[in-house]
Structure 1
């Protein structure tokens, strides 16, 4: 009876919306692992077998997981580790060390992090080592079991693997791969990278110690599957407290995904990136628009949030410029058109601006040279223009060569949205001649 009551419970609309937002935000932001990854069954099986041989049988291995950003490289590894740690032997023995090329920027920092993650700070103490290899060998030796019969297997995960190739002499990679090949201790080295040419970055001695095993992840997702994933991601679970609200919500989401304008928006996202993190950002923005007054996601919400996601940050910056700064940008655009993208300097831009003033005979835009220079410097601070090279800093400011970092379409689009833009300035921008 109580169970039936719980299922048939009708919560206030505000509470239903709050709970729905909480459930969906957790789903989008916490990136919970699915029960199984779709479309990568062969790669999953290959990686499981490889790491089992290290964790259970003490065999050393090395492998690279290669694929574009958002393809699911880290998710694949996490799913494999979850499955692996369900094995009793692996759970007791396997140690993990996770390094990231963005954080461990040199071998000294990496070694300190390895020591911390293996909890061997007390063992190392104040010992002085002659080389990186000696230090690493000592750490691995310290992991021998109580009976000293064998070492505990260690899994080294190197995220952003290509960045480790930029370390001096690639000492970390060399020593890890050397240990994995020489059977001094059972270790598995798993590199994660989005660079297909990563092996070309390795020195010969490092490359010769690598197993050359590579697991490639390339998204084979079709748009129909992507659309279904959107529907599933936005749907509420069966155990939602208010069954009636959940049914209405899920029916609304199904209708939303069948809407032609929504399909067009999602097709654009699918074509630009199949990364589910960017999709989750879009859906989170949609979710934030839900309220008691508007208790469902509408196609218009998806269209608006899509515009936000695809908004051009540089073009948006133009909306906050003064009329003088906007005029200088238009003068630069004309110089780019006339001289086919060749660099320009302040003097050339000012001359172009003066031509416009002479044609219009408008004293409203008549600015002194120091004011124009100040506006030009502000555009440089905003990085809308940049110097051609750093050596030009010695040249007088008026004659330093610059390039415009905006293209024609960005300028024209920004002009249409510029608040109360004077008609003559718009006409000048649209004219084919300076």
Structure 2
């Protein structure tokens, strides 16, 4: 009986230690605590801080784009800058922050409601009716005037997924925000975050003319050894961990420094989240599997599950984008493109009735692979409602290569479209 009790205590102790390690690492990885200083981004940090400080303290309007691939530190950089900016006494009770995201605010009406909510001006707007977006925005900024009615509170507008706002009808939101940032009436800073290097090419001429053309580019400058040190520090248990033996065993991850199998490691969240009492240590295989899952393109994975008909419609839309330089298209145009392919080239795709093709098109709309240009109430017949493809050329081509048993003529259609014209 005594031996059984001893083993029970040992198991309970192991369980407790494992839970403590899991909790500590989950908090470290999930809460996304900002570092004291962005690693390797000193010049970008100083530039960004000075730019926003001039708006917040001196009332100088600015606009800037932070451009870089996913995971390069755009959000972290801006977060660190805002943290230091908001710590300044003259800024804390004066500056207003409005954060928008192109994935959430999919049209100007939704964006305007969110701006009103974040500025706490719902009661001020009430049931007022405005003739245009510009009038509504001007009223909101006017309502932010200080008590003496002579000066406005500085407003920082942060637009994450900036390139998606360029798909809004007439780019009204971008035009008005950048137009205000050029005027001397209201101190405004417009900060856009985007992964697209060609984002300026998406802007209309009138919008581009009001942008300051300031861009801060972020690219990973860490060496592999520095990168491994950062990852190892995030995954290692601290010296004061209650069980030194467990801590030493866990920290064996540092021995992976020269292992080429973990060179492409992006994050260890999935690996850490799978730790349990029965699987109490982090192994190299866990890291490799986590890297594979995290680096996968979610939209490309959705494409792998489409029917051949739906995939053909995606290819047709890609061709329309290539032909018309990204201009919106409608279902009728997509259907015509698909019919041309069926008539002249395909021997493996059956002819589908138009209602069937429309059903497949609507499924793509539900999956958010296609999005209406105007998401409001539209009186245009659904065949002629303008749409945009929410996929890039590379995502479509990558999905085609991995699509199970994709017909050869469909692949050839996607790859050699220009030769067929």
Same fold per TM (> 0.5)? yes
How many pairs are equivalent?
309
Q: Which of residues 289, 298, 303 is equivalent to 2:283? A: 298
Change (3 A) 1:196 1:344: same
Deviation at 1:243, TM superposition (A): 4.3
The answer to whether the Cα contact below 8 Å between 1:161 and 1:192 also exists between their aligned partners in 2 is yes
Separation (CA, whole Å) in 1 of partners of 2:99 and 2:303: 40
Equivalence for 1:254: 254
Residues 1:345 and 2:341 are matched in the alignment: no
Separation (CA, whole Å) in 2 of partners of 1:264 and 1:221: 17
The answer to whether the Cα contact below 8 Å between 1:66 and 1:193 also exists between their aligned partners in 2 is yes
Separation (CA, whole Å) in 2 of partners of 1:82 and 1:307: 33
Q: Please, which runs of 5 or more residues in structure 1 have no aligned partner?
A: 1-10, 271-278, 318-341, 348-380, 382-390, 392-404, 412-434
Q: Please, which runs of 5 or more residues in structure 2 have no aligned partner?
A: 1-11, 306-344, 351-362, 364-382, 384-398, 406-421
Separation (CA, whole Å) in 2 of partners of 1:127 and 1:314: 43
Equivalence for 2:234: 233
Equivalence for 1:216: 217
The answer to whether the Cα contact below 8 Å between 1:97 and 1:117 also exists between their aligned partners in 2 is yes
TM-score normalised by L of structure 1: 0.64
Separation (CA, whole Å) in 1 of partners of 2:303 and 2:140: 53
Equivalence for 2:42: 41
The answer to whether the Cα contact below 8 Å between 1:54 and 1:188 also exists between their aligned partners in 2 is yes
Q: Which of residues 242, 260, 267 is equivalent to 1:264? A: 260
Moved more, 182-191 or 165-174: 165-174
Separation (CA, whole Å) in 2 of partners of 1:289 and 1:102: 29
Change (3 A) 1:298 1:183: same
Equivalence for 1:166: 167
The answer to whether the Cα contact below 8 Å between 1:265 and 1:302 also exists between their aligned partners in 2 is no
TM-score normalised by L of structure 2: 0.66
Equivalence for 1:191: 192
The answer to whether the Cα contact below 8 Å between 1:180 and 1:186 also exists between their aligned partners in 2 is yes
Change (3 A) 1:266 1:99: same
Equivalence for 2:18: 17
Change (3 A) 1:124 1:238: same
SS in 2 for 1:59: coil
Separation (CA, whole Å) in 1 of partners of 2:55 and 2:28: 33
Separation (CA, whole Å) in 1 of partners of 2:226 and 2:143: 49
Separation (CA, whole Å) in 2 of partners of 1:316 and 1:109: 32
The answer to whether the Cα contact below 8 Å between 2:304 and 2:404 also exists between their aligned partners in 1 is no
Instruction: From the CA coordinates, give the structure whose radius of gyration is larger.
Output: 1
The answer to whether the Cα contact below 8 Å between 2:155 and 2:189 also exists between their aligned partners in 1 is yes
Equivalence for 2:151: 150
User: 1:4-40 CA deviation, whole Å, 9 max, x = no partner?
Assistant: xxxxxxx922211111011111222222211111111
Separation (CA, whole Å) in 1 of partners of 2:36 and 2:304: 42
The answer to whether the Cα contact below 8 Å between 2:249 and 2:281 also exists between their aligned partners in 1 is no
Separation (CA, whole Å) in 2 of partners of 1:195 and 1:313: 21
Change (3 A) 1:80 1:316: closer
User: 1:101-155 CA deviation, whole Å, 9 max, x = no partner?
Assistant: 1211211111111111101011111112122111111110100112223111000
Equivalence for 2:67: 66
Residues 1:284 and 2:269 are matched in the alignment: yes
Deviation at 1:198, TM superposition (A): 1.2
The answer to whether the Cα contact below 8 Å between 2:146 and 2:152 also exists between their aligned partners in 1 is yes
Equivalence for 1:96: 97
Separation (CA, whole Å) in 2 of partners of 1:218 and 1:139: 37
Separation (CA, whole Å) in 2 of partners of 1:182 and 1:143: 16
